[in-house]
Amino acid sequence: MTEMRPKALIVEDEAVTRNLLAQLLESLDCDVDLADDGEEALARLLAHHYDIVLLDIILPKMSGIEVMESLRRERPHMLGCIIVVTGLDIDEIRSLFPAVHDTLPKPVLPRRLRQAVRSCLSWPRGGDAAAVDERITSG
């Protein structure tokens, strides 16, 4: 039986950045979906399973903050799959959403992003509430 490739969602409104992130994740053997605004991202997140989500904060229609707030209410375990990639204050994002897997500043270094993706993909999955609770208290 063949192992399924990790499923990733990239949420980024800038096409060049979105495509570069997609290339990087594809090089890590991920199947990649793209969203260019927060509404589309939330719809995809509620309808599909993703192993990893790269999420910008400044987005059209609905911000990345609003996406994460919705997930915190409806599917809190999904926050553990998110790597925030933003030009905003990463410490503030971490304090607001300690359950996200990682928060990286833009411009993101490819080596650092690869490390974050590999770490995220090795984290326990399956909506494990204990894993999310551990991340919140240790984050």
2 lies in a domain? no
Band (52; pLDDT cuts 50, 70, 90): very high
Sheet holding 7-11, edge to edge: 31-35, 7-11, 52-55, 82-86, 102-105
DSSP β-bridge partners for residue 31:
7
- 41 in Cβ contact with 11 (< 8 Å): yes
Domain extent for 124 = 7-138
Give the mean model confidence (pLDDT) for residues 7-13. 97
| Burial of 49 per CB tally in 10 Å (0-12, 13-18, 19+) | exposed
> CA-CA-CA-CA torsion for 62, 43, 111, 16, nearest 10 degrees?
-60
Report if residue 94 sits inside a domain: yes
Q: Is the pLDDT of residue 129 over 70?
A: no
**Is 97 contained in some domain?**
yes
* Domain-located, residue 1: no
pLDDT band for position 2 (50/70/90)?
low
CATH for 102: 3.40.50.2300
The structural domain count of the chain equals 1
pLDDT above 90 (res 126)? no
pLDDT at 108: 87
**pLDDT, tens digit, for every residue of 55-102?**
999 999 999 999 999 999 999 989 999 999 998 888 998 889 999 999
pLDDT of residue 124: 59
Tokens, residue 55: 């999420």
pLDDT in tens, 95-122: 899 999 999 999 888 999 999 999 998 8
- For residue 128, is it within any domain? yes
Residue 81 is encoded by which pair of tokens? 């799959």
Query: Percentage of the chain surpassing pLDDT 90?
Result: 71
Strand, coil or helix: 128? coil
